[in-house]
Amino acid sequence: MALPLPVFNPEPDEFRLAPHRIRRCTFRRIIQLDAIDERVFDVECLYPERRVPTPLGDLDSATPICNDCTAARIFRPDEE
């Protein structure tokens, strides 16, 4: 006789799911900072020459900047 499997209904883990939707760009660098209680990311833009990064701040402040970017052919094909 087979035993029924327990129902696994996980709670959404706030550390695994990103609350932001930022367009995927080939010139952006996201750096995870060391934090004790939460995941914190610093965002830098390497457009146009990839030598000197332009700091955009944390993920909250960089999301509207990156999503409003109008540079041609910098976003990955699935984001265009």
Tens digits of residue pLDDT in 32-77: 888 777 778 899 998 888 888 999 998 888 888 888 888 888 887 7
Residue 37 in domain: yes
Q: What are the backbone angles phi and psi of residue 62, rounded to the nearest 5°?
A: -85, -25
Q: Which domain holds residue 66?
A: 28-79
Largest CA distance in the chain: 66
Helix (H, G, I), strand (E, B) or coil at 30: strand
Total domain count for the chain? 1
Q: Token pair 């976003």 is at which residue? A: 75
Residue 50 in domain: yes
Contacts with 59 (C-beta within 8 Å, 6 or more apart), sequence order? 18, 20, 22, 30, 41, 43
Q: Token pair 């327990």 is at which residue? A: 6
pLDDT at res. 56: 92
